[in-house]
Chains A and B, each alone.
Chain A
């Protein structure tokens, strides 16, 4: 297929978003293991770094090509427009939560499995789970 024709159907922001969802799937699986297998911490930090860059890239691409009323937060008339604004609010959640879990993992490294770090493990797990869920919610809202 011609690449120009291909890009007419798939937006670069959508490709980055799709990759982010895939990586969040793996990050969620790895986060379930951090309490038992400490050698997953390093790959998890790498995956979270990539996710953060992809999230920021998606925002940069979408906002630089802003052509829809989705970013206006004005008086919306239709459900899809309201949900469009909601999607961009929801998109802040993975950015904030991924940064938080990344900083915790950079501080704790393999010591995240220690008994006293139970609360920090919970925060990492909760952050990744909520971020993943919010991305899934964005996908479903985009279908409406």
Chain B
């Protein structure tokens, strides 16, 4: 695998990895918000009762990462993706900011009573 990447730069794969990371972070905060708001969803993602819903959350995030990586890598394979660079980069930055903000307990737990 390392030799394959050394002979030629597969930029599409690197860009797919960045997009996958961004999608996974968005999935993480949205999933967490849904879990905190709905007991049905919390029960659905509870894979291990001892650990709680966070077990399903980790599986969801890893699943989202590798699914988006495979889809994006397959779609962009062998193509010139230089025009996607900036858009994917800023999407990545936005996803980090959104994740950091939306996983704060007082933000996702906010409710008007």
A82-B105, A85-B54, A119-B85 known; A99 and B9 CB under 8 Å?
A: no
Please report the C-alpha to C-alpha distance between residue A76 and residue B53 in the assembled complex, in whole angstroms.
Answer: 14
Chain B nearest CB, measured from A34 CB (Å): 14
Number of A-B residue pairs with CB-CB distance less than 8 Å in the complex they form: 104
The segment out of A6-14, A15-23, A24-32, A88-96 that lies at the interface is A88-96
Q: Is the CB of B109 within 8 A of A92?
A: no
Q: Is the CB of A100 within 8 A of B17?
A: yes
Please report the C-alpha to C-alpha distance between residue A66 and residue B109 in the assembled complex, in whole angstroms.
Answer: 23
**Chain A residues whose C-beta falls within 8 Å of the C-beta of B58 in the assembled complex:** 59, 92
B: interface residue count bin? 35 or more
The answer to the question of B50 belonging to the interface, with a C-beta cut-off of 8 Å to chain A, is: yes
Identify which of residues 27-60 in chain B touch chain A, using a CB-to-CB cut-off of 8 Å: 28, 32, 35-36, 42, 48, 50-55, 57-58
Report the interface size for chain A: residues with CB under 8 A from the other chain.
Answer: 37
Chain A nearest CB, measured from B86 CB (Å): 7
Q: Is the CB of A104 within 8 A of B14?
A: yes
Q: Is the CB of B85 within 8 A of A73?
A: no
Q: Is the CB of B6 within 8 A of A100?
A: no
Q: Is the CB of A106 within 8 A of B2?
A: yes
Please report the C-alpha to C-alpha distance between residue A123 and residue B24 in the assembled complex, in whole angstroms.
Answer: 16
Identify which of residues 1-33 in chain B touch chain A, using a CB-to-CB cut-off of 8 Å: 1-2, 5-6, 9-11, 13-14, 17-18, 20-21, 24-25, 28, 32
Please report the C-alpha to C-alpha distance between residue A103 and residue B10 in the assembled complex, in whole angstroms.
Answer: 11
Partner of B52, one of A71, A90, A92, A123: A71
Please report the C-alpha to C-alpha distance between residue A85 and residue B14 in the assembled complex, in whole angstroms.
Answer: 32
Chain A nearest CB, measured from B26 CB (Å): 11
Which residues of A line the B interface, CB within 8 A? 59, 63, 66, 71-74, 76, 82-83, 85-86, 88-90, 92-93, 95-97, 99-100, 103-104, 106-109, 111, 116, 119-120, 122-123, 126-127, 130
With A88-B54, A96-B65 known, 7 other A-B pairs at CB within 8 A are A93-B100, A99-B17, A107-B11, A108-B14, A119-B86, A120-B14, A126-B96
